[in-house]
Chain A
Amino acid sequence: MMQLDTLFEQVESIVEKYGRERSNLLAILSEAQDLVAHNYIPEEMAEFIACGMCIPTSQVYEVITFYGLLSEVPRGRHIVQICDSTVCRLNKNTSLGEVLERQLGIKIGTTSDDGEVTLEYTPCFGACDISPAIRVDKKVYGNLTEEKLRRVINQTVGGRKA
Chain B
Amino acid sequence: MKRTANLISGQLKKYDPLQLSSYEALDGFAALKKAFELGSDGIIEEVDASGLMGRGGAAYPTGKKLRQSADVPGEIKYLICNADEGEPATFKDRHLLEFDPYSIIEGMVISAYAAGATHGFIYIREEYLYLHDMLRQVLALLREGGYLGTNILGKGFDFDIELFSGAGAYICGEGSSLIESMEGKSGRPRIKPPYTKVSGLNKKPTLVQNVETLTTIKSVLYHGSDVFLKYGTEKSHGTKLISLCGNVNNPGVYEVPFGITLREIIYDIGGGIKSGEDVKFLQLGGASGAIMPKSLIDIPYSYESLKEHGLEIGSGAVLVADNTNRIIDFLDSVQTFFLHESCGKCTPCREGNRQLSNIIGRMKDGVATNQDAASVERISNIMKYASFCGLGKTAPTAVLTAIRYFSDELFSKGDVYERV
Within 8 A of A (CB), among B317-364: 317, 319, 321, 325, 329-330, 333-334, 336-337, 340-341, 343
Name the distance in Å between A73's Cβ and chain B's nearest Cβ. Answer: 15
Given A69-B168, A70-B167, the answer on whether A86 and B333 have CB atoms closer than 8 Å is yes
Within 8 A of B (CB), among A58-98: 59, 62-63, 66-70, 84-87, 89-91
Name the distance in Å between A49's Cβ and chain B's nearest Cβ. Answer: 11
Which residue of B88, B130, B252, B321 has the most chain A CB atoms within 10 A of its CB atom?
B88
Given A68-B168, A68-B169, A139-B130, the answer on whether A85 and B337 have CB atoms closer than 8 Å is yes
Question: In the assembled complex, which residues on chain B have CB atoms less than 8 Å from the CB atom of A131?
Answer: 245, 251
Cα of A154 to Cα of B181 in the assembled complex, Å:
36
- The reply on A105 being an interface residue by CB < 8 A is no
Number of A residues near B (Cβ < 8 Å) is 38
- The reply on A124 being an interface residue by CB < 8 A is yes
Q: Which residue of A lies closest to B251 (CB)?
A: A129
- The reply on A26 being an interface residue by CB < 8 A is yes
Name the distance in Å between A101's Cβ and chain B's nearest Cβ. Answer: 18
Q: Is the CB of A124 within 8 A of B337?
A: yes
Question: In the assembled complex, which residues on chain B have CB atoms less than 8 Å from the CB atom of A126?
Answer: 85-86, 90-91, 94, 125, 127-128
Which residue of B125, B167, B251, B341 has the most chain A CB atoms within 10 A of its CB atom?
B167
Interface of B is mostly: mixed
Q: Is the CB of A129 within 8 A of B334?
A: no
Cα of A91 to Cα of B287 in the assembled complex, Å:
15
Q: Which of B184, B243, B329, B333 contacts A23 (CB 8 A)?
A: B184
Interface string of A102-142 (1 = CB under 8 A from B): 00000000000000000000011111111100010011100
- The reply on B247 being an interface residue by CB < 8 A is yes
Q: Is the CB of B89 within 8 A of A128?
A: yes
Given A68-B167, A123-B340, the answer on whether A128 and B334 have CB atoms closer than 8 Å is no
Name the distance in Å between A92's Cβ and chain B's nearest Cβ. Answer: 9
Cα of A26 to Cα of B88 in the assembled complex, Å:
23
Cα of A26 to Cα of B33 in the assembled complex, Å:
36
Name the distance in Å between B155's Cβ and chain A's nearest Cβ. Answer: 29
Size class of the B contact interface (CB-based, 8 Å): 35 or more
Name the distance in Å between B94's Cβ and chain A's nearest Cβ. Answer: 5
Q: Which of B130, B167, B247 contacts A30 (CB 8 A)?
A: B167
Q: Is the CB of A63 within 8 A of B184?
A: yes
Cα of A31 to Cα of B66 in the assembled complex, Å:
36
Q: Is the CB of A128 within 8 A of B91?
A: yes
Q: Which residue of A lies closest to B84 (CB)?
A: A126
Cα of A24 to Cα of B336 in the assembled complex, Å:
31
Q: Which residue of B lies closest to A68 (CB)?
A: B168
- The reply on B129 being an interface residue by CB < 8 A is yes
Q: Which residue of B lies closest to A26 (CB)?
A: B167
Q: Is the CB of B86 within 8 A of A124?
A: yes
- The reply on B45 being an interface residue by CB < 8 A is no
Q: Which of A59, A129, A139, A140 contacts B245 (CB 8 A)?
A: A129
- The reply on A25 being an interface residue by CB < 8 A is yes
Q: Which of A66, A86, A91 contacts B88 (CB 8 A)?
A: A86
Given A67-B167, A69-B168, the answer on whether A90 and B129 have CB atoms closer than 8 Å is no
Q: Which of A21, A23, A27, A123 contacts B170 (CB 8 A)?
A: A123
22 A-B contacts, Cβ less than 8 Å apart? A23-B182, A26-B166, A30-B167, A63-B184, A67-B167, A67-B187, A85-B287, A85-B337, A86-B333, A86-B334, A87-B88, A87-B89, A87-B245, A90-B325, A123-B88, A124-B86, A124-B88, A128-B251, A129-B245, A131-B245, A135-B127, A138-B126
If A90-B325, A131-B245 are given as contacts, then 13 extra A-B residue pairs at C-beta distance below 8 Å, sorted by A number, are A63-B184, A66-B343, A67-B166, A67-B187, A85-B88, A87-B89, A89-B330, A90-B247, A123-B86, A123-B88, A123-B341, A126-B127, A128-B88
